[in-house]
Amino acid sequence: MEALAKEHGFVLPPFCNWTPEEWKRKNHEYDEIRDNMLGWDITDCGLENWDKIGFALITLRNGNQNDPKYKKVYAEKLIMLKNGQRFPLHFHWKKSEDIINRGGGMLIIHVYNDKGDGSLSDSDVLVNSDGRSYYVPAGTGIELKPGQSITLWPHQYHDFDTVPGTGDILIGEVSMCNDDNLDNRFYEEIGRFPKIEEDEPPYRLLCNEYPKAE
């Protein structure tokens, strides 16, 4: 993902480059990173087939709806969806977001409305994409070329998919504050955070692995 970001001219913030040893020396001045889970993340949705299902991501900035100390009302992420990967159908209870193809292959977002009880509606879905508003049948795949985006609203089911053979995709997300612990509703019973077999020293710490400040 570091290489993909560099390829498309996206320079990562300094904290994305800190080693585990450097993190041990970071004190309370960096609590915003710890408390709001900024930095690296990876998920296989608990299905243990990461080459097919999941993605890697970085939370670049984020507020915190549960802590008034943090005033930001927005968040930004960078996501890598590898060629042949997909991320399962889900919606957010509160968060609205723009998903942007920042470069690479062709991104597909399938969209459905939620009936209100978590099931899929067969009603037409409103699509807001780069200033254009229109309706599509439930389950339509919206193709996003590099530079194109789509706005996704609360209770609007969506997934992430690729056009095979078009390459890895660098995805941007600009949204309201992000809370992966409480705001995600997956259509299928799956997990958000993976089990990790620690079989070699970590190259980068994930956002839920930071040591506490001394």
Average pLDDT, the chain: 95
8 Å CB contact between 160 and 109 = yes
Checking if the pLDDT of 122 tops 80, the result is yes
- Pairing state between β 149-152 and 97-104: antiparallel
Residue 71 vs residues 63, 96, 177: alpha-carbon distances, Å: 6, 18, 10
Name which residue leads in pLDDT, 128 or 48: 128
Place of tokens 């660098």: 170
Given a cut of 90, is residue 66 above it in pLDDT?
A: no
Q: What is the pLDDT of residue 185?
A: 93
Beta carbons of 114 and 121 less than 8 angstroms apart = yes
pLDDT in tens, 71-84: 999 999 999 999 99
The answer to which of 46-50, 72-76, 203-207 has the lowest mean pLDDT is 46-50
- Architecture of 2-186 per CATH? Sandwich (2.60)
List the domain boundaries for the chain: 2-186
Round to whole Å and give the CA distance between 50 and 44.
5
Q: What is the mean pLDDT of residues 34-58?
A: 94
Region 122-143: what's the mean pLDDT? 98
The percent of the chain in helix, strand and coil, each rounded to the nearest 5, is 10, 40, 50
In the chain, pLDDT over 90 holds for what percent of residues? 89
Alpha-carbon distance 47 to 143, whole Å?
Answer: 26
Sequence-distant (6+) residues with CB within 8 A of 203 are none
Q: What is the CA radius of gyration of the chain?
A: 17
Q: Which tens digits make up the pLDDT trace of 162-202? A: 999 999 999 999 999 998 888 999 999 887 677 888 899 99
- Mean pLDDT for 8-36 is 97
Q: What average pLDDT does the segment 31-42 reach?
A: 96
Give the three-class secondary structure for 105: coil
Count, residues in the chain: 214
pLDDT value at residue 189 = 86
